Amino acid sequence: MILCADVGNTNIVLAAYRGEELIFTSRLKTDSTLTRDQYAVDLHSLLEVYDIRPDEFSGAIVGSVVPQITTNLSQAIEMALGCTCMILAAGVKTGLNIAIDNPAECGADLVAEAVGAKNHYPLPVIVVDMGTASKIVAVDAKGNFVGGSILPGMRTSMNALVGSAALLTDFEFGSPKSAIGKNTADCLRSGTILGFASMIDGMLDRFKQELGNDATVVATGGLVHYILSSCRTKMVYREDLVTEGLRIIYNKNK
């Protein structure tokens, strides 16, 4: 069994795989103040919840966009599981040709989800990943990672708006009843959910103009389920796309 850790700006997604089978997936809060030992304790507690012994793991891989956490978490995994932890970085084989100006700029999450999409869906493929940032990445018909787009995340945008406008208060995300809101909360829901859905649809139209109208669209990320039903573009939802990509990369290098 291997452990895959996707370190994002808000959450760390942990997924355990036995072969190709996903055994469990869980989330920890991303916290750069935690020490290696504290993360190791959290991992031990998590395994107890799922009734899994540390010695069942033969390896692990970390893909991180938060450099302050990468070392502490990888060392914590090695302490907790007693196995070597691979870090997705330059020099690790991915099977993905990163055809952008500076491949070193490409985040580990983008690489992993592109690998996951390339290995599971028809090419060309576009990935929509909605979390702290909203990211759209493109893999062309030849399997090359050709670039993408980075937009503000839904919650990031709304936190900035509410924090800057005295009369606007935080609200619960949910499907708006209509585009025309009748109160402040409904107006915010309309602007957030329908506004982001329309933006994603518009961006995907532009991506398809450059990549091909037959491109498969795969959606992932912690916030994407809020807009899926409001988007007009047909998408395949896969929650574990990034960790699945990490699993594939680990097996190419083990």
The residues annotated as belonging to the active site are 109
Cα torsion 249, 123, 127, 139: sign = positive
User: What is the DSSP annotation of 94-138?
Assistant: -S-EE-SS-GGGS-HHHHHHHHHHHHHSPSSEEEEEESSEEEEEE
Go through 28-62 and write b for each residue having 16 or more CB atoms within 10 A of its CB, e for each that does not.
Answer: bebeeebebeebbebbeebbeeeebeeeebebbbb
**Checking DSSP bridges between strand 144-152 and strand 97-98, what pairing results, if any?**
parallel
Token pair of 114 as six digits:
């592109």
